[in-house]
Amino acid sequence: MIILNDENFEQEVIQSEIPVMVDFYADWCGPCKMIAPVVEEISGEYEGRVKVCKLNVDEAGQTSAKYRISSIPFIGFFKNGKLADQLVGAVPKETITGKIDLLL
């Protein structure tokens, strides 16, 4: 799992040659903590096919503002440098993997 910030977002996400899932979260967010283990599982299951990253919205204000993140957890699915899909809230693992499978 890759930890993102304003400095490495462009390189890790926008320039990625494989699809990227970004979990936008905050340490104080209860629902974010609920889905954190699911994000970890997905990271292992899709290793090499999808890059799974986490971005703390409190520490990466520029990136959060650019994508207008107003509710978290926000999961962004990026393909070819563009935000291709998104989910908001603590959703089941199957919902997340369904979105990933559409990117592959």
Catalytic residue among 22, 32, 42, 57: 32
Angle at 53 between CA 81 and CA 23, to 5 degrees: 95
Q: Is 53 a catalytic residue?
A: no
Active site annotation includes 32: yes
Distance from the Cα of residue 64 to its chain's centroid? 12
Distance separating alpha carbons of residues 42 and 40, to the nearest angstrom:
5
Q: Which residues are catalytic?
A: 29, 32
